[in-house]
Structure 1
Amino acid sequence: MTRPVTNTAFEALLRAAGYGNAHAAFARQLNYAGRVHGTWRYDAASVYWWLRGRRPAEHVQEAMAKTFARKLGCPVAASELGFTATDVTTNARYPHSPDHAVDTAEQLWAMLAKQLAPQANGAFQNDVALQAALAWRYDLPDETVANSGRHPVTTADVDSLYALADHFTELDRRHGGGSPRTRAIMIDLLTRQVSPMLRGAYTDATGRNLMRAVATLSGQLAFMSYDAGNHPAAQRLLTVALRLAKAADDHLYGAHLLANLATQAVYLGHAQDAARLAEAAIDGAGRAPAAVRARLYTTAAGAYGRSGERRACQKALAKAERALDRTDAGSGPRWAAYFSAGHFAGTAVKCLSDLRLYRQALRHAPGAVTLAKQNARTRALHTALIATTHARAGDVDAACDWGRELQVHVHAVRSARVTHRVRELAATLSPYRAKSEVNELLVALPASPAHN
């Protein structure tokens, strides 16, 4: 049974322009009008879904308006196309289907292409995050994600997306996510290249692999946005990535994304909800490889520490440490390979310090800086954290020693989180400013590392 038309304004414009029974012709003209944005692959099926409520991204609507205007010989505004405003810019709700996830992703990428700067408003949406966790965990798997677009998507196409994701991940770890230029390049890739692939032709198997690859890219952009301080965008990108991971039927990567959402919630002061998100990630991961379990339990420990749950925090740390001991190189998914004993130790310092167990926290300090060379941002974060923990424990001399070490690492990293930790250290040391070494350090520390 054919679905009824819901966008009558768009239908009327098609008829007026002579495309009422020539949807494929309109799609070809639209692809031509949008060539400045890359290779578009819209077809008659795309027009079918636009007539029935699917909303294209804003830059696609602008190209549609130009196509109609050229054919009709009079101006046509995008507002006349009949596409209702979406709430993608104001909330982070979990998409209800793979098609909805693709639509939401395209709209979000288009929005970010216009505005990369952190938003002045738009708090973390706790309820929406918890609802996303429940939907990801308990919704039934998608029966199929196959698509019948015009241009075929191959395994090689998808593999290229994984390679690009690896490249952006390395840039993020080396330099931080605060560079608008790097994020702009990534958004351009998603808008111009990835979006047409999602509208292409692929089998269920290739489609699930494609969804996983796009989830990886969206998840990486989300983490970079989080690191840059654009928290509304980060939450929305993570939610879309979570739905794409569900479509890919990859529950391990979905658990990883949910843990990233929990990490963001901890950072923004929503520790109890972060703990629930981490618990959902652990539950959803099931019988996961040791590397994945170590990462998830470490995230849970951070949430428990921040919310003051000492027993739960220490229990989660113990589970994470045991999982680390059982981790074999190459035994888990490739994205989990980044997580090391150094990452665990850094979180241990943080959550035990949150519990004011400074002596226990500082036992993990040497391990927290045993990081691979490319993890420059994490090294800066951990070094600042250790310095602050020493200051809170009353050892100002040690805090200054670590603070001077921080100066070595901080200048090359653009990260709002690093900036926050530098300022946290400065605030903790300020009462001791009468000491010459403290004053010298405070003067030398950059207020905004790498011009964040």
Structure 2
Amino acid sequence: MNKPVTNQGLEDLLAEAAYDRSHAAFARQVNAAGARDHGLILRYDGASVYWWLRGRRPEQPGPELIATVLSARLHRQVNVAELGFAGRDGERDGLLFPATVPEAVETASALWRRFGRRGRPATVAPFVTAAAIETGWRWHFDPPDSSIARAAGRRVTGMDVEMLRGCFDQFLELDRRHGGGHARTFLADFLTRDVAPLLRGSYTDPVGRDLFAVAAELTGMAGFMSYDISEQGAAQRAFIQALRLSKASGDRTYGAHILANLATQAVFLDLPGEAVRLARAAIDGAGRRPVASVSARLLSSQATAHAVAGDLQAFRTAIGKAEHALNRADETGPSWAGYFSPAHLAGSAMRSLLDLGRPEEALTFREQVMDLAPGNARTRALHTALTATAYARAGHVDAAAHLALEALALAQRIRSERVQARITLLASTLAPHRPVPEVAAFLEQAVGP
């Protein structure tokens, strides 16, 4: 006895395309599209279509191929979101690199909505190691979007884009001062209410590319906020969608920055192989001559990746190149790269040298890491805890204890799991020295008696 159809969306599209009575012919068209567009040998048949209609989702690029075949048959754009598969593979929502610009808009919009829901449903999404590497490959090798002009909905102008950039600056200030846990829900609501309608509006190709660029930056910020509060699966999905939006904008340097963020996330999760590959992909993807500030930021990510992989020589080479690039930096770089200062590079070097077991050398950066602008409250807390850890591992317990109390005071004003992780690491490093009064005072406040 046949099972009932559960995917009404796909059934309706097949009927509209006159494939409702020729499932095998439809499957052959999907196979042909896979061979033509991706060089794949697929063996879908009528039974495959039967199960798609009953809740089974084909592996990628199956949904993309189905949408391609239906689009050609119906002479209109059919998006993956219309196929009825959404929500049936919840773990992968936002995890795939959308094939087309309309799919990118719908996938990002769905992710923003989930981020904005109270109760934090996005936190259940797991981090998927292979997804970041696949995304980097797709970003690098998928063909560029020839035009993203759109002629439906309200007219979007350059003034709308400038408004979004002003809001980006405000959210960035909130994140740096208070941590990712403070403003991500507000940012997600803004993306849903203000940015998504603009992406679905009407715009020329130049305005559209500027619009997608700022949407990518805002989505990347949502990813970094998620990373900061240790929602790693949510962060990964936001970074992937930011990467797709940046590809639509044509801004390769920001896409490279997002790949570097994925590399940094891999470092945090102690995935050295993935970190090294992603950092290399970021540098390769930025082109031959990125501006100095961008180059420094990407090379810094590569240095930390090599350090967590235990490669001292590769770390020294990358950090030296990053220092040289930062010395050449001026005011000509993109605004999003302006945050990366000598103090940030010194923090990367110090953390890397600790990973490499060289705390005394790490302490040579102790003054540079604290040379921060007043608004960088989270980075100041991170660097204070990091410096205290370096002192502790080098055997300078009194100096470590003094800075530990300072780091704890800073951490209490910031909603950041990264900062809390640094405090926890510092506490475990200082735990053998509890008899020292200042260490005992720190440990009592940090972990209890």
TM-score, structure 1 normalization: 0.80
Match of 1:285 in 2: 286
Percentage of matched positions with identical amino acids: 44
Q: Distance in 2 between matches of 1:204 and 1:307?
A: 43
Match of 2:358 in 1: 357
**Count of residues paired in the alignment:** 383
Q: Distance in 2 between matches of 1:389 and 1:49?
A: 63
CA deviation vs aligned residue, 1:93-150 (integer Å, no higher than 9, x gap): 2111211111111111222222563766544222110111111112221101111212
Structure-to-structure mapping, 1:26-105, within 5 angstroms: 52-55=78-81, 84-85=86-87, 87=89, 89-90=91-92, 92-105=95-108
Q: Distance in 1 between matches of 2:349 and 2:322?
A: 10
Match of 2:405 in 1: 404
Shift of 1:395: 1.4
Match of 1:444 in 2: 445
Which AA in structure 2 matches 1:127?
A: A
Structure-to-structure mapping, 1:103-118, within 5 angstroms: 103-114=106-117, 117=120
Match of 1:339 in 2: 340
Q: Distance in 1 between matches of 2:75 and 2:108?
A: 16
Q: Distance in 2 between matches of 1:409 and 1:100?
A: 42
Structure-to-structure mapping, 1:207-218, within 5 angstroms: 207-218=208-219
Shift of 1:444: 2.9
Conserved in 2, the CA contact under 8 Å of 1:118 and 1:230? Answer: no
Shift of 1:190: 1.2
Shift of 1:406: 1.3
Shift of 1:405: 2.3
Superposition CA RMSD, Å: 2.5
Match of 1:33 in 2: none
Q: Give the stretch that moved more between structures: 83-92 or 338-347.
A: 83-92
Conserved in 2, the CA contact under 8 Å of 1:118 and 1:228? Answer: no
Q: Distance in 2 between matches of 1:363 and 1:327?
A: 23
Which AA in structure 2 matches 1:267?
A: F
Q: Distance in 2 between matches of 1:204 and 1:51?
A: 18
Q: Please give the secondary structure, in 1, of the residue aligned with 2:180.
A: coil
Q: Distance in 2 between matches of 1:441 and 1:424?
A: 13
Which AA in structure 2 matches 1:325?
A: N
CA deviation vs aligned residue, 1:289-335 (integer Å, no higher than 9, x gap): 1111111111111111111111111111100011111112x121111
Q: Distance in 2 between matches of 1:312 and 1:358?
A: 18
Q: 1:362 to 1:118 in 2, by over 3 A?
A: farther
Q: Distance in 1 between matches of 2:124 and 2:297?
A: 31
Match of 1:147 in 2: 150
Q: Distance in 2 between matches of 1:185 and 1:435?
A: 44
Q: Distance in 2 between matches of 1:49 and 1:211?
A: 26
Gaps of 5+ in 2: 1-7, 16-73
Q: Give the stretch that moved more between structures: 96-105 or 246-255.
A: 96-105
Match of 1:137 in 2: 140
Asked if 1:389 is matched to 2:390, the reply is: yes
CA deviation vs aligned residue, 1:251-285 (integer Å, no higher than 9, x gap): 01111111111111111111221111011111111
Q: 1:129 to 1:362 in 2, by over 3 A?
A: same
Match of 1:311 in 2: 313
Q: 1:142 to 1:426 in 2, by over 3 A?
A: same
CA deviation vs aligned residue, 1:237-261 (integer Å, no higher than 9, x gap): 1100001101100001111111111
